[in-house]
Homo-oligomer: A and B are copies of this chain.
Amino acid sequence: MDVRTICLGILTRGDATGYEIKKTVEEDGHRHFAEASFGSIYPALNRLTEEGLVSVRAEAQEKRPDRKVHTITRAGRRAFVASLMEPLPEDRHRSPFVFAMLFADLLPKDHVSRMLGAYIAHTEEKLSRLQQADAKPRREGERFADGLVTAAYAAVLDYLRIQRAKIETTAAQAAE
């Protein structure tokens, strides 16, 4: 999903500055399947404003840069819904960790187990943060998304733990 559409989507839930949009995308619930950086958000908002899909009011602040609060227009809502209705782009997943594991045979064995351990710890952390968020009341769609991501992470974690156990058993047998 391009940054334009992400911005429009977040603005359907309420007015926001570019900075606030960035924070929202980083939150659990979004972070696992959508991303956007400042370098793409600010130009996107400017272009959306030019096109009349978004309006801006500058709130002057003393001795601080103006807060440029963005509001989605009726045309913006229409454009957003239209873009969700047309065929969606494919999912894209990139995992440097899995890529590296493809070449585990070229790496020292102890480094591979450290990598695996670190990745497991990292996944555990993501999962526990998701489960904390699960307590808060949320919109239907948010619960759906969190549930899907949680299911995926839990399955990956299971798999990784089994693989680690296998590696340890093999190593122990070799040491005999």
Contacts and interface: CB of A to CB of B under 8 A. Distances in A.
A151 B111 CA distance: 24
* Oligomer copy total: 2
A96 B9 CA distance: 12
Contact of A163 (B32, B98, B144, B152): B144
Given A9-B103, A103-B12, A155 B151 contact: yes
A38 interface: no
A107 B115 CA distance: 42
Nearest to A88: B96
Contacts of A145: 98, 101-102
A84 B105 contact: no
Interface in A80-108: 80-81, 84-85, 88-107
Interface residues of A, number: 55
B35 A141 contact: no
A159 interface: yes
Contact of A95 (B91, B100, B139): B91
